[in-house]
Amino acid sequence: MRKRMVVDVSNIFWRSISAMNTYDKPDPSESAALGLHGCLMTLKKYFNNIKPHEMCIVFEGRNNWRKEYTKSENSYSKRIYKANRVSDPSMAVLYEVMQSFKELAHECTTLTVLQHDYLEGDDLIAGYAQYFAAQGDSVVILSGDKDFVQLLNDKKISIINPDNGKERNLLDVCGVDSAEYFLFEKCFRGDSGDNVLPAFPRVRKTRLHKAFGVHEGSVHSEKADSFELSNLLNATWEHPNPSTGEPMQMLVQEMFNENNTLMNLSAQPEHVRKLINDVIQEEIQRDKQFNFFKFNKFIGKYELKTIGEKVHDFTPMFSSKIKEEPKINGLNL
């Protein structure tokens, strides 16, 4: 059994910038360099601590399928995914730095590097973890995003919070030791940060627990109340149409289904699941070589002096390599 680590690089990059309180600096390039420095140091720290046979780093796609889906006629809520996020042109340099690092890692290191414009980083992180856990490997996800706890129904997958190095667990995140319940509640609650409407606004947790069969932090299926669940799913509420402002009658069941499509990292549309698998397969079979000269040049370009002084400390991380055997089966579709 191999140990693998998959890293939410975009999450760590932005968290590094936020932790350094650099958003208010006049020069975004300085913020980008500090974020890159923090990101590289975090990668090395956890590579050395966890000692994976392979490290995979994942980057965001800018035009992911959820945006396309929520703009289409298939969208029930008519609420465009992440439309609440305002783009700041002055921050373009931060994205350019991340793209530059992605290109370096892909072309000049032995790291597995995953990115596709149509996919969110979450899709590829979950896909990678699910794929190799199914092969019998243990997979550590390094990310500050709590949503990955939905994958903890597989005991081969674990999640480390890069802020403190602690392993995440379901009880701490949602109070119930069940990945299925976490996702159930999340679909009811929605996600305001991603502009995803709740299926049932302000629903009481006691009702969700009753419907799902939760008692004292554990799920007891025999205690699940199907009548309460039916009442929840058949409830309606009003919401203004984002385009016209006219009130829409929202059925909880329909909103729950849409939220499950958007947030369940095991239930993306079939064509998306296939694309995730194809991206992973192509990358793990790619021949990878480490180019120390280009890595050192990259460090100099962004004036990462502290890293440059100990550049050889990064060589094990960027040059480790294991041979992948061809796999017949990919993700379950």
Task: Let me know if residue 99 belongs to a domain.
Answer: yes
Q: For the domain that residue 151 is a member of, what is the CATH number?
A: 3.40.50.1010
Q: How far apart are CA 69 and CA 80, in angstroms?
A: 8
pLDDT at 22: 47
At residue 80's C-alpha, the angle toward residues 77 and 83, to 5°, is 140
Quickly count: other Cβ atoms within 10 Å of residue 66's Cβ: 24
pLDDT at 314: 94
Task: Let me know if residue 268 belongs to a domain.
Answer: yes
Task: Let me know if residue 122 belongs to a domain.
Answer: yes
Residue-by-residue pLDDT tens, the chain, 333 positions: 899 999 999 999 988 887 765 445 557 778 888 889 999 999 999 999 999 999 999 999 988 999 999 999 999 999 999 998 877 777 788 889 999 999 999 999 999 999 999 999 999 999 999 999 999 999 999 999 999 999 999 999 999 999 999 999 999 999 999 999 999 999 999 999 999 999 999 999 999 999 999 999 999 999 999 999 999 999 999 999 877 888 989 999 999 999 999 999 999 999 999 999 999 999 999 999 999 999 999 999 999 999 999 999 999 999 986 655 555 456 765
Q: Which helix (H) or strand (E) holds 238?
A: strand 236-240
Q: What distance lies between CA 44 and its chain's CA centroid?
A: 20
Task: Let me know if residue 328 belongs to a domain.
Answer: no
pLDDT at 272: 98
Task: Let me know if residue 326 belongs to a domain.
Answer: no
Per-residue pLDDT tens digits for 85-122 = 877 777 788 889 999 999 999 999 999 999 999 999 99
* 239 class by beta-carbon count within 10 Å (0-12 exposed, 13-18 middle, 19+ buried): middle
Residue 16 domain boundaries? 3-319
- Is residue 268 within 8 A of residue 259, CB to CB? The reply is no
DSSP state of 58: E
pLDDT at 325: 57
pLDDT at 218: 95
The pairing of beta strand 236-240 with beta strand 218-219 = unpaired
Which residues are CB-neighbours of 41 under 8 A, at least 6 positions away? 307
Task: Let me know if residue 130 belongs to a domain.
Answer: yes
Task: Let me know if residue 172 belongs to a domain.
Answer: yes
DSSP 16-53: HHHHTT-TTSS-HHHHHHHHHHHHHHHHHHHHHHH--S
Q: What distance lies between CA 191 and its chain's CA centroid?
A: 14
Number of domains in the chain: 1
Residue 314, helix vs strand vs coil: helix
- Is residue 56 within 8 A of residue 111, CB to CB? The reply is yes
- Is residue 6 within 8 A of residue 126, CB to CB? The reply is no
Closest to 120 measured CA to CA, from 132, 128, 131, 112: 128
Would you state the structure tokens that stand for residue 188, as one six-digit string? 């009811």
pLDDT at 323: 58
Task: Let me know if residue 329 belongs to a domain.
Answer: no
Q: H helices then E strands: how many in the chain?
A: 14, 9
